Structure 1
Amino acid sequence: MTVEQPALTALTPRAAEIVTAARTLLEEEGREALTMRVLADRIGIRAPSLYKHFPDKEGVEVALIERGLAEMGAALRASLGEPEPVPALLRAYRERARAGPNLYRLSTAGPLPRHRLAPGLEDWAGEPFFLAAGEAYLAQALFAFAHGMVIMEIDGRFPPGSDLDRTWSEGASAFAGG
């Protein structure tokens, strides 16, 4: 088990300020609103000044994704200390995703720019699924269940009146073997 979180890509204080503003913008208005021009306006600078800190928009997105993965990984790892790790892991996953739905979407939708992420971070963040499930393919299935459930919940895709707590509980029970 990889215990220490891999170091995130280092940010200058100004770059950290940009990422904080980008995260707020992302959560308030969605990914489509996250443009260099809108972001620059948010922090009171001209858009070209952002390029002193990030080579492109994807650089800002990668910094956001790294932070999202680190937060998710920390929450999932903390859940593993519970007596029933699978239900605890799923609760932690659901809570983190719902706490920042647009960051969650950014981190999980479309191609992942793995080559730009901090080395080892993606594996570290996802390892708790393997630790809870005990087998690689079961861990992938558990992740797919969690992701599918949470994205459908965030997007309001379940039928009206669905008891999502029960659906999550049934899934946890199925993956926990009981």
Structure 2
Amino acid sequence: MARAGLPLARIAARPEPAGRSERVREIVAAGLALLAAEGADALTMRRLGDEIGIRAASLYKHLPGKPALEAALVETGLFEMGDALHAVVDAAGPADVVAALLAEYRRFALMSANLYRLATSGRIDRSLLTPGLDGWSGEPFYRATGDPWVAQALFAAAHGAVILEMDSAYSDMSDLDATWRALARAFTT
């Protein structure tokens, strides 16, 4: 619920990711492809090494282990999602910002379901991410609502709705588009 007079301007600057070597970018790209195709259980250093044609032990020269690999994948996803959500909030007017934000959130999560699950599962050591990334990538929820607690409630509702959709937990008779529109209306004044 973007309140009248509340600017939808960005609050924090986009954090700058640490530079990655060409090899790390190649490893992350291969990890993203493997994650998208087969899920998080397929992400082993051995399997990733096979995918890019190097020994698993050589991967450790570039990333210190699977937690660092998963954090690099999540970081990539959070930057992509944050950019997409900020762009939507930048373009939307106050009357439709919540609906536009939710539509983009849903689109991104469903398009990158395995990455979304990895990023939101809670098993990533957030200290391995670029400082400020977590807050910046979630900031569009605050920009859309103008209230930190409402923003958190909106995120929680969107996350729950998208996980239920990914898990096919809704009734076969459900109209999920109507459900998402109702969610947007519930958070719009």
2-structure distance, mates of 1:69, 1:157: 25
- 5+ residue gaps in structure 2? 1-9
* Mapped pair 1:134 → 2:143: no
Aligned counterpart in structure 2 of residue 15 of structure 1, from 24, 27, 31: 24
* Mapped pair 1:166 → 2:181: no
How far off is 1:89 after superposition? 0.4
1:63-95 CA-to-partner distances (Å, cap 9, x unmatched) read: 111111111111111111212110000001001
Match of 2:7 in 1: none
Match of 1:100 in 2: 112
* Mapped pair 1:150 → 2:159: no
TM-score normalized by the length of structure 1: 0.96
1:131-158 CA-to-partner distances (Å, cap 9, x unmatched) read: 1011111000000011001111112111
Give the stretch that moved more between structures: 151-160 or 133-142: 151-160
Match of 1:58 in 2: 67
Match of 1:70 in 2: 79
Letter in 1 for 2:14: Q
How far off is 1:3 after superposition? 5.2
Q: How many residues align?
A: 177
Letter in 2 for 1:50: L
2-structure distance, mates of 1:43, 1:51: 14
Write out the 4+ residue segments of structure 1 that deviate beyond 4 Å after TM superposition.
Answer: none
1-structure distance, mates of 2:53, 2:123: 31
How far off is 1:28 after superposition? 0.4
* Mapped pair 1:36 → 2:45: yes
Match of 1:82 in 2: 92
> What is the alpha-carbon root mean square deviation over aligned residues?
1.0
| Structure 2 SS opposite 1:59 | helix
2-structure distance, mates of 1:59, 1:6: 19
1-structure distance, mates of 2:141, 2:66: 30
1-structure distance, mates of 2:149, 2:38: 36
Q: Which has the higher contact order (CA 8 A, sep 6+)?
A: 2
TM-score normalized by the length of structure 2: 0.91
How far off is 1:159 after superposition? 1.2
Letter in 1 for 2:150: L
How far off is 1:114 after superposition? 1.5
